[in-house]
């Protein structure tokens, strides 16, 4: 498998269309197709072409440094010669370099999973200790509040003005809502999909989500969604359900407001 074929198959496995790649990376569709077809001769000068490869690899979750290294060797040769032969004669070398990129990406994912598990265990342990401490404090406070005050003997000389006092107004004042009404959007992923989310003008997510993942986004004014594979995402806002959000492989943008 050559570099271009590897990039194309990885994109297809992630469910990302060429149009979505063009939108996210700002690389013209013409150059994306040239990279996937190993048509390096039509690409712009080396510094710009390497930038295209770096952005494309980063979008696909690959190691951009290794991808640029493989591309430079194939397109320009080890000596970075502009007249280098663009044909690949030794596919075994390409397999080796491509596997290096893929393996590094997987090692990174494994480390992330291990770190997440350790962090989750620490949070659960800390939460249990904190909960036990709070429960103990509440019980101790209840025991103190349940202690009855000592009985006082009322003498026959008790002041008449203090014997009868009107009861204080015990009506509890209305407590305002803790959180004002805003906008809430639920997202369910049914197929791999690139998703960008902006809440109240601030970007909170920009990554590839896997099938089965569910997310909730809440804001005061607005929640903006941009899906790279609209056919692989279900969106629920209030009573409206978009299942799916659009056609598979298409790029869809939606803005949900609190109005």
Q: Residue 49: which of 41, 61, 59, 58 has the closest Cα? A: 41
pLDDT of residue 96: 42
pLDDT of residue 87: 31
- Spell out the domain ranges in the chain: 3-109, 183-257
| pLDDT, one tens digit for every residue, the chain (259 residues) | 788 999 999 999 999 999 999 999 999 999 999 999 999 999 999 999 999 999 999 999 999 999 999 999 998 885 443 333 333 333 334 444 445 445 554 454 566 677 778 888 887 888 777 777 776 766 666 655 665 555 554 444 444 454 555 555 556 555 444 435 789 999 999 998 988 999 999 999 988 899 999 999 999 889 999 998 888 899 998 888 998 888 888 889 989 998 7
pLDDT of residue 132: 75
Is the pTM higher than 0.85? no
* Cβ neighbourhood burial of 155 (10 Å; 0-12, 13-18, 19+): exposed
pLDDT of residue 82: 35
pLDDT of residue 140: 62
pLDDT of residue 203: 92
CA distance 107 to 115: 12
Concatenated DSSP letters for 171-198?
A: PPPPPPPSS---EEEEEEESS-EEEEEE
As its CATH architecture, domain 3-109 has Orthogonal Bundle (1.10)
pLDDT of residue 178: 41
Neighbouring CB atoms inside 10 A of 43's CB total 18
Residues 71 and 50 sit within 8 Å (Cβ to Cβ):
yes
């Amino acid at each position: 498998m050559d570099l271009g074929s590897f990039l194309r198959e990885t994109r297809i496995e992630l469910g990302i269309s060429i149009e979505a790649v063009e939108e996210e990376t700002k690389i013209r569709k013409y150059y994306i197709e040239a990279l996937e077809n190993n048509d390096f001769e039509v690409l712009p000068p080396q510094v710009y072409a390497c930038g295209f490869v770096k952005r494309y690899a980063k979008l696909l979750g690959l190691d951009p440094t290794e991808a640029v290294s493989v591309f430079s060797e194939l397109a320009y040769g080890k000596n970075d010669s502009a007249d280098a032969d663009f044909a690949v004669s030794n596919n075994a070398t390409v397999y080796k370099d491509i596997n290096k990129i893929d393996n590094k990406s997987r090692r990174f994912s494994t480390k992330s999973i291990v770190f997440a598990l350790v962090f989750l265990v620490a949070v659960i342990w800390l939460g249990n200790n904190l909960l036990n401490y709070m429960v103990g404090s509440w019980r101790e406070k209840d025991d103190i509040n349940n202690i009855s005050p000592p009985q006082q003997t009322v003498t026959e000389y008790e002041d008449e003005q203090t014997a009868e006092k009107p009861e204080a107004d015990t009506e509890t004042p209305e407590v305002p809502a803790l959180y004002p009404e805003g906008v809430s959007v639920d997202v369910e992923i049914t197929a791999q999909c690139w998703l960008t989310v902006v809440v109240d003008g601030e970007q909170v997510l920009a990554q590839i989500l896997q099938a089965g993942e569910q997310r909730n986004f809440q804001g005061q004014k607005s929640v903006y969604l941009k899906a790279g594979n609209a056919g692989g995402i279900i969106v629920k806002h209030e009573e409206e359900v978009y299942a799916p959000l659009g056609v598979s492989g298409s790029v869809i943008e939606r803005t949900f407001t609190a109005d």
